[in-house]
Amino acid sequence: MDQFTSNIFQPVGYIYPNDAELQWSTLIVLYPYITGLVAGAFILASLHRVFNVVPLKPVYRLSLLAALSFLLAAPLPLLAHLGHPERAFEIMMTPHLSSAMAVFGFVYAWYLMAVLLVEIWLDYRKDIVLAERKSRGPKKWLYALFTLGLFDISDEALRVDERWGHAITIVGIPSAFLLHGYVGFIFGSIKANPWWSTVLMPIIFLFSAMVSGMAVVLILYMLLQRGRAQITCLDALAKYLFYTLVADFSLEALDLIHRLYTMEESFEILYLLMSGRLFLTMILFQFGLGTIIPLVVLGAIQLFPFAEKFRRRTYALTSLFILFGVFFMRWNIVEGGQLFSKSLRGFTTYKVHFAGQEGLFMALAIALVPFLILAVLLWLFNPWESSEETGAVS
């Protein structure tokens, strides 16, 4: 199979037959993207709760609800990818601890039930009790269920909630690192693929997750509050977003410099991959639009006193660019690692399908699910304030 062309695949050079068809589709790109938003949103919330970054208080509770929404939707791309999604429960029933994917089932369960749900419950418990008192009918029963039978909202009880919530947030930070770092670990531990095999992969995934999580919370905050979004909060968000983006870009540049310096046998095929089939998605989309432009713009705002109106618009636009770039970072890793042959002497192509179990329409439908979940959570809980006058949004 030296060189041939077909209607579906267009391999070039020498490839093995099992390299002709890509096994991981757009859904597997979406999976680490959504889990990254979870980790990033939770770490953003931790900046206020643990490190007492006061300007970020307006987005603290919104960050928790966003993290929960994306976490509940995170397994959906994997389940849709499976031919028999019900078999996923076998990971939990018959665990195989040498499998990174099997261990993720327990990491996911721990983070969902022992960290995120508990912290949200402790933070919203007063609001839930007040909403239960004011509501009627099925909604009152729902809030009563959420109280778990604990209706005490005295000052002493709330102080206990605060202490426990602070402790759980501290535990949640390494848990968030583990949740998304493991995704990078899965790719980085595949030694047979030089595009994936690097010890920096988990760290790169983690910092890109922090960047994307902060960006999505910033956009959600501006959309939900519209013109009422506090500029001090937006400035603080943009500052931490800029610092994290600098660290993320530095790590990716370090990985590239290391590959250039070592010049292993795979370097030539990887160079052809980056300069050819991934040039648009990697050089232009990931690094150009998604990294360099936001770095320059956000850096300039840190240095010069631009007008408030300009800063608001710029923060929204650069956040969209960042989310765009992080998505294509995931794309370049997942799909790019499958485009070259294990012979290191040939390429294949990936054709995006619109319909079908793993088509683009399915991916878009799954991408909308966390926002629908967030809409329900915002209907039940008020993320902006906790007071006896408001309780829940209803």
- Which pLDDT score is estimated for 161? 93
pTM recorded for the entire structure: 0.90
- Which pLDDT score is estimated for 352? 82
* Number of other residues whose CB lies within 10 A of the CB of residue 26: 22
* Number of other residues whose CB lies within 10 A of the CB of residue 347: 18
Distance CA 323, CA 208 (A): 10
3-state SS record for 290-350: HHHHHHHHHHHHHHCCCCHHHHHHHHHHHHHHHHHHHHHHHHHHHCHHHCECCCCEEECCC
Please say whether the beta carbons of 313 and 218 come within 8 A.
no
Phi and psi at residue 347, to the nearest 5°: -125, 155
Distance CA 386, CA 124 (A): 8
- Which pLDDT score is estimated for 10? 66
Tokens of 101: 């994917």
* pLDDT-flagged residues of the chain (< 50): 1-8, 386-394
Q: What is the pLDDT of residues 43-62, one digit of tens each?
A: 999 999 999 999 999 999 99
- Which pLDDT score is estimated for 9? 52
